[in-house]
Amino acid sequence: MLTTLTVFTLKPGNKRWGLAQMGTSPPTLKRVPGLQFFKLLGSGAANGFGLWPNLDRYGFMGVWDDAAAADAFFAQHPLWATYRQRSTELWTLQLAPLKSHGLWDGKTPFDYPNAQAAPENAPVAVLTRASIRLRKTPRFWQFVEPTSAALGQAVGVRAAIGLGELPVVRQATFSVWESAQAMQEYAYRDARHREVIKLTRSEQWYGEEMFARFAVLGSQGTLDGQNPLAGLGLPD
């Protein structure tokens, strides 16, 4: 099995088309051979972490039967060909789950049967995703901006982006790190991050949440004009 995440930035003039895909693409994606689980994700302003949407940038996350199924979709499927034609750049990561807990729409998509051990020195990616209780959204957004700014400037982070299934109430953060050590040092030492984690528990911000950590197996394409993991020895 294989997980992929693609972040794509649309060409000018495609905002309306991109927004429409959030509703029109899922029926087609449900019929893609070998695609077990998927999410189309919007993004916000301020590198994804702002309250207002960024209608030029989206994400697509998929869990596949195997690498061959993923390769066939990205290389041959007419829907993805349209995404490529309408995008000015795409960045795709191949991921192997290391650990996960929690649920995503009641499912555990990253609990692979017979999971293989990931490469020891691979860079790591972290996904945190939550359905925010409506009455807790003001508190969530009060803290997300300074915390996200700190994440983007953390030592060892190569990319960090906010993505979401629905504006305001269904949000996710995806970050990619040079190493597990760099990620852990941020998680345990950054005071703002620790405060937010504490508040999510004590104030019960989330109706459903998931945390997942992945080894990064490959990185292709660009995000903001460059491959964020260039120089780390990954297949491109």
Please give the model's pTM, rounded to 2 decimal places.
0.89
* 63-105 residue pLDDT tens: 999 999 999 999 999 999 999 999 999 999 999 999 999 999 9
Q: What is the pLDDT of residue 113?
A: 77
Distance (Å) of CA 129 to CA 46, 97, 206, 207: 18, 15, 10, 11
Pairing assessment for the beta strands 53-64 and 2-10 based on DSSP bridges: antiparallel
Q: What is the pLDDT of residue 204?
A: 72
Cβ atoms 112, 158 nearer than 8 A: no
Low-confidence ranges of the chain (pLDDT < 70): 46, 48-50, 114-121, 134, 136, 139-150, 167-170, 190-197, 199, 201, 203, 205
Q: What is the pLDDT of residue 127?
A: 92
What does the longest C-alpha to C-alpha distance in the chain come to?
48
- Residue with tokens 């950590």, as numbered in its chain: 213
The residues with which 125 forms a beta bridge, in sequence order, are 176, 214
